[in-house]
Amino acid sequence: MSEDAFLEAYDPAAFERPALTVDLVLLGLLEGRPAVLLMKRSWHPHAGRWAFPGSFVGLDETLDAAAGRVLQEKAGIAEGSGTRLEQLYTFGAVDRDPRMRIVTVAYLTLMPEAAFTQSLAGGAGLSAAVIEVPWTGEAGGPVAAYLAGDWDERAPLSFAFDHADILALAILRLRGKLDYSDVGFALLPEQFTLRQLQDVHEAILGTPLNKPAFRRRMLDRGWLVPTGAREAGTSFRPAELYRFQKPL
Amino acid sequence: MSEDAFLEAYDPAAFERPALTVDLVLLGLLEGRPAVLLMKRSWHPHAGRWAFPGSFVGLDETLDAAAGRVLQEKAGIAEGSGTRLEQLYTFGAVDRDPRMRIVTVAYLTLMPEAAFTQSLAGGAGLSAAVIEVPWTGEAGGPVAAYLAGDWDERAPLSFAFDHADILALAILRLRGKLDYSDVGFALLPEQFTLRQLQDVHEAILGTPLNKPAFRRRMLDRGWLVPTGAREAGTSFRPAELYRFQKPL
DNA sequence: TGAATAGTGTCTCTAAGACATTATTAT
DNA sequence: ATAATAATGTCTTAGAGACACTATTCA
């Protein structure tokens, strides 16, 4: 075909191509609520708005490698720290960046508690924003984010570029995988109670769940190992702590 | 951040970037079996192997638009012909193409019977290959494809580049969406029998299904409208023909 | 003892699998 | 009639929702 003939004579520099980046939706928990790490833009365009950390994709690095590099450079998290990277979707609207044509591969990053707070305190300029998921049934909907601490006082913060769409899709993906995969556990610390696990599920789904049914489902799955230890610091009956471990 | 300062002074032509393409997994049915449309490569590299049709992404076209253009140019299908395009995954291994760095956004294309046979007969050099899905449980596995007609005689054909991975992922995605979305119907003609629908599901899942339960599930969902007509040409009791229509 | 939440028992309802039975068409 | 498949009835079982009840801890 002509495509092959074209490629045979192709000069890589001859034609303009879109630039290619990766952007990371860094998800974790803040006081039990789902939250993302964002950078406040101080330059044009979209100065004052909030964006996910990202980077250009190098000529000799994989997409996954570029995402891992961003995790390292901008969030201060080394690979293999329990943080999980998963490709989410590729966004290619022509005018998504006013400066030039940039196609971005969005990654969903699930951070356990330790990694999340570590990169928040890392001084790399990342802020945490709590996510509020409206109940929209099966369909996806707009997702609001509020700067940590001011959850019920301030206005939702505004996103740069198409990053609001990216976040909405990330939540949708999370929802879809919630009850057949182990994404719910990836956000929790090493040890957690069943109530914490249920809170995470409810926050992501945006709807309350039936307590006995939820416990049965989780325990019957066989992924939870009781530690024998109990939570501390409550003024009532402390719950048992569990560890997540897939059998075999 | 330095990223912004960098971009301010950025000369779009100054740094080399990966090339960006779209590739289309064109899925349809051939004698009731799932099949894909492929092009046999006659040039180096990977001459003699089979590849999905694709194209470079233009500087001023959306990813979806580029995919639609490929559908038009290489499969001869106009948009809005009932064929559905859905972004699948972006493949970015550094050496996936030996000539240069090419990142490709793979699209899953569900073609109804009419469109599939039309583009097969269109003379654009596309061949149909029947897909054989091994039963691999929930996990994805290798997917074999056989040139139409020689299904049980010939060896499975070999794919160019990483296109075997792309096909395996396409089947996996299809499986996942099969029983909560309408992808099963997108492959069938306007009117079809419940047995045809079940055959499609079984072929994609790679496992037999319980007939009464399948019928109940499909009919209770409310997406099937009985037409009153019946299939013709059987030597036994003809089945009722249904149309797919989502309520509201 | 009271407040608050952890954790469980049980009933009901829904949906799926298994299997058998009836229905309908062509030859 | 016979062959072949369509279409349905029914029994059983698994799992979820609802709701009430018991258990355990701190103040």
Q: Does residue A198 share a domain with residue A108?
A: no
Residues 6+ apart with CB under 8 A from A248: none
**pLDDT for position B179:** 86
Q: Residue A26: beta bridge partners?
A: A37, A109
B154 close to A (CB below 8 A): no
Distance in Å, residue B210 CA to nucleotide D8 C1': 14
Burial of A29 (0-12, 13-18, 19+ CB in 10 A): buried
Residue A248 touches chain B, beta carbons under 8 Å = no
> Which residues lie closer than 8 Å to B32 by C-beta, 6 or more apart?
B196, B199, B200, B203
List CB contacts of B88: < 8 A, sequence separation 6 or more: B25, B106, B107, B108, B166, B169, B170, B173
In a domain? residue B3: no
Q: Is the pLDDT of residue B73 over 50?
A: yes
Judge if A239 and A157 occupy the same domain. no
Q: Which of B129, B157, B178 delimits the end of a domain?
A: B178
Q: What pLDDT score does B67 carry?
A: 98
pLDDT under 50: residue ranges of chain A: 1-2
| R_g of chain A, CA atoms, integer Å | 20
Mean pLDDT, residues B182-189: 95
Q: For strand A19-30 and strand A54-56, is the pairing parallel, antiparallel, or unpaired?
A: antiparallel
Q: How far is the CA of B210 from the C1' of D10 (A)?
A: 15
The answer to whether residues A146 and A224 belong to one domain is: no
- B199 phi/psi in degrees, rounded to 5: -60, -45
Strand partners, B19: B102
Secondary element (H or E) of residue B68? helix B63-75
Q: Which residue has the tokens 């984010």?
A: A145
Q: Note whether A3 contacts B: Cβ–Cβ < 8 A.
A: yes
In a domain, B14, yes or no: no
Rounded, the Å distance between the CA of A113 and C1' of D19 is 35
Question: Is A93 within 8 Å of B62 (Cβ atoms)?
Answer: yes
Lowest mean pLDDT among A19-23, B152-156, B209-213: B152-156
Q: Please report which confidence band the pLDDT of residue B169 belongs to, taking 50, 70 and 90 as the band edges.
A: very high
What pairs with residue A230 in β-bridges?
A240
pLDDT of residue A152: 55
DSSP string, A54-87: EEEPPTTS-HHHHHHHHHHHHH---TTSS-EEEE
In a domain, A8, yes or no: no
Q: Check pLDDT > 90 for residue B228.
A: yes
User: Distances from the Cα of B116 to the Cαs of A175, A248, B100, in angstroms?
Assistant: 34, 44, 32
Q: Alpha-carbon distance A119 to A128, whole Å?
A: 10
Regarding whether A203 and A161 lie in a shared domain, the answer is: no
pLDDT on residue B153 = 61
Q: How sure is the predictor about B8, in pLDDT bands with cuts at 50, 70 and 90?
A: low
Whether residues B30 and B137 fall in one domain: yes
The pLDDT value recorded for residue A134 is: 81
Residue A209 CA to nucleotide D14 C1', Å? 20
A13 located within any domain: no
Are A80 and A194 members of one domain? no
Task: Answer whether residue B148 shows pLDDT above 90.
Answer: no
Chain B nearest CA to A179, separation (Å): 13
| CA B3/CA B215 separation, integer angstroms | 56
CATH number of B202's domain: 1.10.10.10
- Residue pair A177/A190 in contact (Cβ under 8 Å)? The answer is no
* Whether residue A203 sits in one domain with residue A87: no
Q: What is the spatial distance between Cα B155 and Cα B133, in angstroms, rounded to a whole number?
A: 15
Q: Is B6 a domain residue? A: no
What pLDDT sits at residue B79? 79
Q: Which nucleotide is nearest to A239 (CA to C1')?
A: C6
Answer for B214: CB within 7 Å of strand C: yes
- CB of B154 under 7 A from strand C? no
Residue for token pair 């099966």 = A138
Q: Are B143 and B237 members of one domain?
A: no
B78 found inside a domain: yes
pLDDT value for A11:
57
Total of domains in chain B: 2
Helices B194-205 and B211-221: crossing angle in degrees, nearest 10, is 110
Q: Check residue A1 and give its pLDDT.
A: 42
Judge if A35 and A78 occupy the same domain: yes
A133, A150, A178: which is the final residue of a domain? Answer: A178
pLDDT attached to residue A139: 77
One domain, residues B99 and B215: no
At a CB cut-off of 8 Å and minimum separation 6, what does A1 contact?
A: B39, B42, B125
> Across residues B32-51, what is the average pLDDT?
94
Q: What is the pTM of this model?
A: 0.93
- Range 91-110 of A in CB contact (< 8 A) with B: 92-94, 99-101, 103, 105
Give a yes or no: residue A185 inside a domain.
no
Assess B7–A contact: CB distance below 8 Å, yes or no: yes
> For residue A112, is the peptide bond before it cis, meaning its omega torsion is within 30 degrees of 0?
no
Mark whether A75 and A23 lie in a shared domain.
Answer: yes
What pLDDT sits at residue B192? 97
**For B80-136, what is each residue's pLDDT tens digit?**
788 999 999 999 999 999 999 999 999 999 999 999 999 999 878 999 999 988 877
Q: Is the CB of B233 under 7 A from strand C?
A: no
Report pLDDT for B122.
85
According to DSSP, residue A138 is labeled: T
Residue A168's pLDDT is 96
What is the CATH classification number for the domain harbouring B136?
3.90.79.10
For B14-39, the pLDDT digits (tens) are 578 999 999 999 999 998 899 999 99
Write down which residue in A158, A178, A198 finishes a domain: A178
What domain range includes position A64?
19-178
User: Sorting pLDDT into bands at 50, 70 and 90, what band is B1?
Assistant: very low
A contact test, residue of B7, B64, B248 with most A CBs within 10 A:
B7
Do the beta carbons of residue A206 and residue A135 sit within 8 Å?
yes
- Identify whether A2 is part of a domain: no
Instruction: Provide the mean pLDDT of chain B.
Output: 91
Phi, psi of A81 (to 5 degrees): -95, 20
Between CA B99 and CA B161 the distance in angstroms is 11
Residues 187-226 of A with CB under 7 A from strand D: 209-214, 216-217, 220
**What is the least distance, in Å, from the CA of A186 to any CA of chain B?**
20
B187 and B103 co-located in one domain: no
Task: Give nearest nucleotide to A236 (CA–C1').
Answer: D25
pLDDT attached to residue A3: 56
